[in-house]
Amino acid sequence: MKADTLDLKDIFRKDTRYVVPRFQRPYVWKEEEHWQPLWEDLQLVVDELMDRQAGANTSIERQEAQQNTSPHFLGAIVLDQQSTPTQKLETREIIDGQQRLITLQVLLSAVHSVATDLDHKEPASLVEKLMFNDKDLTSTETDRLKVWPIEADQDAFIDVMTFSDPESDHTELDDDEHLEECFQYFSDEIREWAESGPESTEEHLDALVTTMWHLLRVVVIDLESSDDAQVIFETLNARGTPLLAADLIKNYLFREATLQHNDPGELHDKYWKQFDEDEWRVDVSQGRLDRPRIDVFIMHWLTMQMSQQVRAKKLFPAFRKYLDRTEQSVEEIVKDIDYYASIYETISEPDRGSREEIFFRRLDVLDTTTPYPVLLWIFGEENVPKPQRVKAIEAIESWLMRRMLSRLTSKNYNKIFIELLDELKTSDDDRVGDTVVEFFRSKEGESDYWPSDEKLTDSMVNLEYWAVINQRRLKMVFAAIERELRDTGYSETLEFTQDLEIEHILPQKWSAHWSLPGERPAEVEQMERDDAKDRIGNLTILTDKLNPSISNAAWDDKRDAIQDHTVLRLNKHLVTSWPDEWNEETIAERGEWLSERASEVWPEPGSDYWDK
């Protein structure tokens, strides 16, 4: 076999047909697991390229900027050469990697479609060269397509690949095919991205096309006649234990230690030995995926050091680049990693009952790790006073929670926390908390502002929460409010130790025991009730036994059962404040009451609380 690292230009620019064998599975990639991560990785490369080219005035400078941009590695594909008659298209069978190649072609078509719609002819023309084979070498229209999927996917693939071709009859998509969903996802994301920021849409698309031509890399394994395609496929996909990024980093570090005339064995035993333990190799949640704990920690540490987003897939190349550029010795680096590993363990298991423990427990429920480089820095700086550290984490929590409760976007959180990190690195240690508060107070954009009480109340009264915010987060909100209600100095502050469930007070299936007022047209009242039932004012928490027993009951029965069994102040307030009836108006009233309690848990940016 022969293996080469190629960019998309090398793969798709030549007139070749990549055919998926008919026995392979259909196209199965999905948005959250595949399309979104691919688009996010691609964006990072394009953004880096645009940043590097920002000051470039000549073609040579632009070329240098491109060469200095970190490429994105897409994995490996395995191809088997097929015999073809003279003057026919060269054909290769895709033994492994069909999902990847099909997705790349759909992505190219989406770029072509957006560029064509925006009348940017040059990027559209360049993309076409990666989408279609030379007409003179093809005997049928479908031969023009670089990739040819199995029969089940062929019709949809033809539609998305020829959608923006002026010679094609395909001008509409049904959106009922998986490949068409893929095309629509990339088209929407590319258009939104191209029309954002200070640069023009053409500058965005030019950089995107340059990236796709030169900065997306694939290892292409070409099989020879003596190679057993099935054995190679199994070896790539089912055998062996892959090295962690941390393993590669370790080897690289201690090789450099030898070059610096240090004893790698001594450095390993003193600073690295702990990372060989199984506890550092267990998988932990990192966004949509699980990754080894050691890789996650080093990614946060490296982001903190570089003040630059480090992609999990690019951890080792990013570390190698950092090591090549830093003036620190290997010993200083491994000593620093060892120190921050102890900080990482401390914040992973803070003192029980402390404000820090509450913060990290809630952060875990929010399922966001973007603040961790900032938190490593805050907790790693020994001269930060504890009150300032607590103020910092409370401000971060308030900003995150208020944005979640206001249902605002979490896009760009990585960039926002890196910007905060830069602010903290230039601030005084005794003002860390104040710096965090001032930083978030200064934000005014849709993707970064700190919602006020007015915005929070409007959201909690009027927006749907059920099935929009996951139940784990809703339980955490109710638990935080319950804790605040008990924190009077007279009551015990309790934490929930059993599984509780979210309950609709006005049931989801309300028609049996909850009649409409009958004052307006029934369809209007029904629509308003269906909208109101999923707002937070209509939700509460009950035990897993009480919840189903009263799920669809009338308000009188439900109120009495809650009154008899609940020990939560949250629910005591519910049944004593609205004992007579429960309807759309009382749901709004309770939503406002909950927003007032939430604002006590998570003070607004203008609150006097932050000035204490």
**pLDDT tens sequence across 336-355:** 999 999 999 998 888 888 89
- Rounded to whole angstroms, how far apart are CA atoms 294 and 279? 9
Report which of 503, 515, 492, 511 is spatially closest to residue 561, judged by C-alpha positions: 503
pLDDT of residue 404: 97
- Rounded to whole angstroms, how far apart are CA atoms 158 and 519? 54
SS3 420: helix
Helix, strand, coil abundance in the chain, percent, nearest 5:
60, 10, 30
- 389, 433 Cβ separation under 8 angstroms: yes
- 236, 75 Cβ separation under 8 angstroms: no
49: tokens are 């390229």
Q: At 210, which amino acid appears?
A: T
Residue 519 CB neighbours (<10 A): 7
Report which of 396, 536, 411, 559 is spatially closest to residue 477, judged by C-alpha positions: 536
- Rounded to whole angstroms, how far apart are CA atoms 117 and 366? 38
Residue 542 β-bridge partners: 501
Helices (H) and strands (E) in the chain, counts: 26, 10
pLDDT of residue 241: 55
Segments of the chain with pLDDT less than 50: 86, 239-240, 489-493
pTM of the model: 0.69
SS3 505: coil
Alpha-helical runs (H) found in 226-313: 229-238, 245-259, 264-267, 293-306
- 455, 406 Cβ separation under 8 angstroms: yes
Question: Which residues, 6+ apart, have CB-to-CB distance to 246 below 8 Å?
Answer: 275, 280, 292, 294, 295, 298
Q: What is the dihedral of CA 592, 597, 603, 605, to 10 degrees?
A: 0
pLDDT of residue 510: 83
- 547, 565 Cβ separation under 8 angstroms: no
pLDDT of residue 526: 87
pLDDT of residue 269: 87
Question: Which residues, 6+ apart, have CB-to-CB distance to 140 below 8 Å?
Answer: none
pLDDT of residue 492: 44
Q: What ranges do the domains of the chain cover?
A: 2-238, 245-451, 454-601
pLDDT of residue 255: 79
How far, CA to CA in Å, does 449 sit from each of 209, 400, 404, 436, 481? 32, 10, 12, 13, 23
φ, ψ at 526 (rounded to 5°): -65, -40
- Rounded to whole angstroms, how far apart are CA atoms 547 and 551? 6
